[in-house]
Amino acid sequence: MTTQDHERIDQSTVDLTDSEYYLNRELSQLAFQERVLHEALDDRTPLLERLRFLAIFTKNMDEFIMKRVGGLKQQIEAGVTETSVDGRTPREQWEEVLETARPMFEAQTDCYQQEVKPALADAGIRIESWDDLSEADRSEMRDYFEESVFPTLTPLAFDPAHPFPFISNLSLSLGVFVRRHYDDSVVFTRIKIPPNQSRLIPIEEGGRYILLEELIRSNLDLLLPNVEVVEASLFRLTRNAEVRRNEDVAEDLIEMIQDVIEQRRFATVVRLEVEEGMSDRMRSLLMRQLDIEDREMFEHAGPLGFWEFMPLTDLNRPDLKLDSWTPQPHPRFARRGWNGNGNGPTDEEQDIFEEVRRGDVLLHHPYHSFTDTVQEFLDEAATDPDVHAIKAAIYRTASDSKVIQSLIEAADNGKQVAVMVELKARFDEKNNLEWVRRLEEEGIHVAYGTRGLKTHTKTALVVRQEDDGMQLYSHVGTGNYHSETAKGYVDLGLLTADRDIGRDLAKLFNFYTGPSFDDEFRKLLIAPVTMREEFTRMIRREAEHARNGERARIVAKVNALEDPEIVEELYRASMAGVDIDLIVRDICRLRPGLDHVSETVNVYSVVGRFLEHSRIFYFENAGDPEYYTGSADWMTRNLDNRVEAVAPIEDPEIRRQLRYNLEVVLADNRKCWEMQPDGSYVQRRPAEGEPERNTQEILMRKTLETLNGEADSEDVTEVPPVGPELLVEPVEGKPTPSDPISSADGGTIEENQLAPTTASDETADGLSDDGESLPEPMRAHPDHWYIPDSNTYAYAIRTPDGGRAYRKTTESIARLLEQHYGPAGK
């Protein structure tokens, strides 16, 4: 049987449109949030870091319920019954999502109440209840309430003379039943906990606090005199954020966005959180007035939401935190006289444009400083007399954005400045509207967005007059031009003087401000015109290489893999024999490790102190690898409904850096999770005696080593090769920038002299390590397979071209042996 025969048989017997091959998007997103929550549950995590992840989990789940659960409820109310690619109707998804989320919230509360709060108290950080306070403390806090809290409160009664009060999204409220003495009636009153005051009120210096809601509840006699307080219970509600207007009928995009922001305030309620102990009477009243079902109510035996606890993580308690990290200057700038203080070069130092023209620069945030790289690039452009024009696409930026200030300064200095500001960036609409007004006041050309598309590119273009003509300098990134998120998001950015990339960006910016969209680009992959087609072509090319017995491998690092068509292409590539490693932060519809369908696919997810946000695409291409990075994930919205830009990486040293980054992630045994065929995840842990490998810690260390000249090469752009502790086995020859990426544990013979174990060494009795009889192809070809020194793979083969291929089961390695060496007995 030939490899082509094997491929034909496999694909003819599998219906890849079957819903069993696709995981549900919403449940996959919840699986990611569970991994985020695990960082708080994991007692290996420092205490204040555990509290930080409790807060992050609250914020993430708030957004998920506003956007995704809100969208499902909207579909249900509209009568939508069509099933998703995984075979679920909107109602089925809605019900399953709510039930899946419920135990996650319970785990969050239990973690705080039973572990984090007591541990904080042991460390001298106490969250006190009113009953725990001394008489002196109560007197002091009562005075504070009267002076600082009481004047800000507005009790809103619900009775025949007063309608049920409006309750804003994510607001924390105290529901109070009071009995009026003059008619013995019981009245509901809502008291909003002021969101503009700290939720953690310090009792005294030294780490004692009381929650604002506890302080208010304990002093209701001052706020509601001459009534009997029957009940006082906390609740918090979440409203749908999926409020949209048809762009085709909107005459003014700014007016439409303002309308969306306003409508969101009054949108449908999609979740009600209540504290444990709330009476059935109050629950029924709230559910009736807010028009929600039982399953939309969540009871918590602790604080409602933890996002406002985040200030505690800023306490000066290094003993309760991870070691601090300060983003570093890029070595290319630091080693060539760049001062790295935000003031640009001195007269005798070369400017940033000369350095970029010398060779492409890969920025890796937050390991490299955003301020000393991207911000410096824009600052220099704003003041350089030779710069004629600056163009930038802004998706999200800081409220005090220095990027915007640089663009304004450039306009003041006579440069031509054009800015694309995406008004439809969810939850940043208001901030972006304000920047649009400011930019227009400065006379800058501003484009607001594209009808029917959301602009998601993170790109900038500088046009500079030089001795040999007009030169184009480009920045293509994976992250926003946002100085604060750049300190906590892992992102990549390419600074390049490549003329083809510059021309492509010029075309793209002309589309933002002009009437038409060019569909031909020299190097960039642009969505929605060329990107899907090119990614599909490259995946199919790997499949063809595999069928021809050539090296075939795909490694993709993305935030999400949701697009069903891309999933199907990856399945077909796996069926052809392509080795595929997918590093997917959250949503992943693909199921790895399915017999005959995705045996060669592994899916990993890294959750650590920084949010993984970078995108890298690697295609082995029969030994002539291609690398790409940019703003797009493998989601339908990115490929079809957004404007995205992905750039090829051609510089050998930058390829080496990307290869290193990918291999470190694949070898992570501390923060890396591996997806199982059913969509669940298992966190990797070091084996006994094995060193701990944490991707982000390794990259922080390597950043400092390279900056301090401790790298293995005199060229400061080179990232040291993966050390011996990350390897499985030798592979012939020393790696070069064009070498294929090794498997999750691959390496070089010079890095690890240990020879692989042979089949005859380990399986002379004809049994696999779990005692099963070996399949006939393994018996027939004992010299072509072996047991690698790997925590990931159980078996490996030597391919005819001298490469290696890895599998987890005897059945899959047997099929691979048949592909390369024929059936047993032939």
Chain centroid offset of residue 347 CA: 41
Burial class (CB in 10 A: 0-12, 13-18, 19+), 733: exposed
Half-sphere CA count of 678, side-chain side, radius 13 A: 2
Measured CA to CA, the distance from residue 816 to residue 419 in angstroms comes to 53
Catalytic residue among 330, 456, 781, 820: 456
Tokens found for residue 554: 């795909």
Question: Are 461 and 502 spatial neighbours (Cβ–Cβ below 8 Å)?
Answer: yes
Matching residue, tokens 């709510």: 98
Q: Which distant-in-sequence residues (6+ apart) come within 8 Å of 437 by Cβ?
A: none
User: Where would I find the beta strands (DSSP E) of 129-282?
Assistant: 156-158, 172-180, 186-192, 200-204, 208-211, 227-239, 269-275
Distance CA 115, CA 504 (A): 54
Alpha helices in 21-85 (DSSP H): 25-41, 47-64, 70-77
Spatial distance between the Cα atoms of 541 and 547, rounded to a whole number of angstroms: 10
Taking phi first (over 0 means left), then psi (-120 to 50 degrees means alpha), and beta for anything else, what does residue 297 get? beta
Place of tokens 């030798």: 730
Classify 549 in phi/psi space as left (phi over 0), alpha (psi -120 to 50) or beta. left
Q: 3-class SS at 638? A: helix
Alpha carbon distance, N-terminus to C-terminus of the chain: 10
Could you tell me if 396 and 385 are in contact, meaning their C-beta atoms sit under 8 angstroms apart?
no
Do you find a cis peptide bond into 737, omega within 30 degrees of 0? Answer: no
Backbone angles phi, psi at 555, to 5 degrees: -125, 125
**What is the rounded CA–CA span in Å between residue 16 and residue 64?**
29
Known catalytic residue at 596 = no
Alpha-carbon dihedral angle through residues 532, 534, 538, 543, given to the nearest 10 degrees: 60
| Residues tagged active-site | 456
